[in-house]
Chains A and B, each alone.
Chain A
Amino acid sequence: MYAILPFVFLLFLGVIAALSYSIGKKISKKLSIRLLGVYLLVLLLSPFLAAFTGNSGDAVEEITNIPPDYYLSILENYSDYTLEDLQKDDFLAVLDEQEISIDAENFSVENPFIIFTSTHHADGWSDRDFENYLIVEKTTAVEDVIITQFQQRAFISGVEVTDQFEPWQWFLEQWSRDQQRLNVELHRSDIQLYSLWPLLQAFQFDQATTNRTFAREIPSIDSGTIHWIQVPERLSINLQGRKPFRIID
């Protein structure tokens, strides 16, 4: 691997030499000096420009205000809230809103509409109870099933990453010849962050240590989701799961 480096270096020098030869004559000395002047000016102004263009200061302040596991307190006291309350909540973000068209007339007490979030079907690789994140509201305000997904706003070292979470994908599934059920599919969220590391002294800084420190700072952000499912009041439903759902009648 290292044996090839001198050749890569020589190739690189060759490319630079060729480019310099081809464009060097077109750029006058005065223009070069002016370019250097402009470049140094931009560098000198860069601390101010960095401060002017920065936008992470507010986010750092906000993270300290969000109570830990705030979404859990909502799920536990769900009957105290309305959908509108959550939509206005500063600590929650509306991640997605899905509308699933159904015909309520096709379902009855004997043949109910099933909302299916069984642990082992919806999430085959862990023992997670997704029912914990659901609030089902029977209301006259809707004709179809409407699912609003909320995410507790999440931060990593002061940077908000809430909008990088992949929303759950709800869909209608043919359960049997006569039955349809509402199922959900989860995708892994890939969160991309950028972090600037300093050059304290030329080549002398412990990058490995600082990286490890930063990795430890990543908080547990894989929860914090609330799904508010609105179903037509006249629709007969059956909640299929291990734990009772939170139902607002």
Chain B
Amino acid sequence: MNTIIHDESKMTVAYRQFKDKLYHNAFSFTQLIALQALGYLFSFNASTTASGSDYYYVYIQNINPIPLFTMTLIWMIIQGFSLSGEKKREYYLVSNNFTAYFSDIAVLEVYAVVIGITMIFSGPMLQMLANLSLGTFQPGAAYEAMTFLNYLSLFVTTTFYALLIGAGAYFLGILRVRYQSFFVFGSIGVVVLLILWSVLGIRFIGPGISIGFEELSNFYLQESNILIWLVKIIGSIATFYFLSWIGIRNLEVNH
């Protein structure tokens, strides 16, 4: 039995491990459905626009899928983080660091594609739910003007962003697995360094300096050239993959 298994190539083992992980983590899809249900709920109360006079006031409740996408990304973070912590599974008999890493990345990519597909249909799904539950519902001119290319770009961007978030979470998870208790201290150290950086930055450079989630996300979101955007996003994902591999390559699989 062992001979037969050992005769198989790394890629075959990695592929089997990938299928096994997908099946073993099937409950994560239920988590996805639950989180997206919550996201759909929040999407119905995304923002309000109001206008009127003394005699009437029109409140326009804007339904948009941003909360849904945020909840979906949270799911991706959970998956990236938990996949990196699955190195103690006993059923990976012949797994090594390469197969574990490869299968994890493949699972994350499948998850990202699933996210891309679900986000394409988020608009029609919201429209259907609104039709069923709201009497005075207006699909919105911008929504009705969506073309095939819009849906395609939505699929591509959501898939890549999900992959980026997932790869980042996976890398953090690898650090946690590798350094265990030091990871906690390291995290606290990074927070302290960031606070120090902010304080010193304001003290010596002035209030003009600002580093936060918004500035970081603008690196991708404010990019108008699709090719440069692709380079940025693929480069970032590849960097996380590379750092994760550096972190996992000489890690004991069943330690």
Contact = CB atoms under 8 A, between A and B. Distances in A.
Interface stretch (B89-97, B134-142, B171-179): B134-142
A66 interface: no
A203 B158 CA distance: 9
B58 A156 contact: yes
Interface in B1-59: 23-24, 26-35, 44, 46-47, 49, 51-59
Interface in A15-66: 16, 19-20, 24, 27, 29-33, 35-36, 39-40, 42-44, 46-47, 49-50, 53-56
A197 B136 contact: no
Interface stretch (A81-89, A103-111, A112-120, A215-223): A215-223
A19 to B, nearest CB: 8
B58 A197 contact: no
A194 B138 contact: yes
B143 A194 contact: no
A196 B138 contact: yes
A99 B139 CA distance: 40
Contacts of B106: none
B88 to A, nearest CB: 18
B136 A198 contact: no
Contact of A203 (B52, B123, B125, B217): B217
B27 A2 contact: no
B230 interface: no
Contacts of A160: 136
23 contacts: A16-B35, A29-B24, A43-B117, A46-B127, A49-B124, A50-B128, A50-B131, A53-B132, A125-B54, A126-B54, A189-B57, A191-B58, A194-B130, A195-B138, A197-B46, A197-B63, A199-B65, A199-B123, A200-B150, A202-B69, A203-B221, A204-B221, A213-B141
Contact of B26 (A33, A44, A214): A33
B140 A13 contact: no
Contacts of B146: 198, 200
Contacts of A13: 74, 78
B118 interface: yes
Nearest to B37: A39
Query: Chain B binding site: helix, strand, loop or mixed by DSSP?
Result: helix
Contact of A20 (B24, B31, B131): B31
A194 B49 contact: no
B64 to A, nearest CB: 4
B121 A44 contact: yes
Contact of A27 (B30, B52, B125): B30
The list of the 6 closest CB pairs from A to B, nearest first, reads: A53-B131, A43-B121, A46-B124, A32-B26, A29-B26, A197-B64
Contacts of A158: 138
Contacts of A197: 46, 62-64, 140, 142-143
B212 interface: yes
A177 interface: no
A35 B157 contact: no
B143 A196 contact: yes
Contacts of A43: 117-118, 121, 124-125
Interface string B63-88: 11110010000100010000000000
Nearest to A53: B131
Interface string B106-128: 00000000000111011111111
Contacts of B180: none
Given A195-B140, A196-B139, A201 B153 contact: yes
